[in-house]
Amino acid sequence: MELVVASSVGVLTAGGVYLILRLRAFPVILGLALLSYAVNVFLFATGRLAINAPPVLNKYADVAYSDPLPQALVLTAIVISFGMTAVLVMVALGAYLEADHDRIDMTGNEEAEAAEKESGS
């Protein structure tokens, strides 16, 4: 089971990094979402979840119990990442509607226009 969780965190991280390195706004947003999912799965896995065990230690439980702190951290991270993703989508949509493309350029306007004319798009 540890191999499956570790592999899924690795795949989510690799996919997130790949999408962040794209030169379009919406794949970058999806990459950030994948990275946040990878962090959430990693945090959730640190809780050492036990099957059929209570979330807190009580007098009826054995020694095994699930740690509630990683679960609370993941729940908080999910809410925050959903809100930030909504904000990023609205900012990217506003930039797309203003510029008529969602390309991310770090160059000046003259260089961007010359590159656009060369590529034919």
**Res. 16: pLDDT tops 90:** yes
Provide the whole-model pTM: 0.73
Whole-number pLDDT of residue 13: 96
Report yes or no: 13 and 35 within 8 Å, Cβ to Cβ. Answer: yes
The CATH number of residue 55's host domain is 1.10.287
Q: Tell me the residue range of the domain where 96 lies.
A: 2-119
Give the pLDDT confidence of 72-83 residue by residue, as tens digits.
889 999 999 999
> Judging by beta carbons within 10 Å of its beta carbon (0-12, 13-18, 19+), is residue 83 exposed, middle or buried?
exposed
d(CA 69, CA 88): 28
Total tally of structural domains belonging to the chain: 1
- Name which of 82, 77, 79 is nearest 44 in CA terms: 77
d(CA 100, CA 94): 10
Q: Quickly state the pLDDT bin for 54 (edges 50, 70, 90).
A: low
Specify the long-range contacts of residues 1-8, CB closer than 8 Å, at least 24 apart.
5/41, 5/45, 8/41
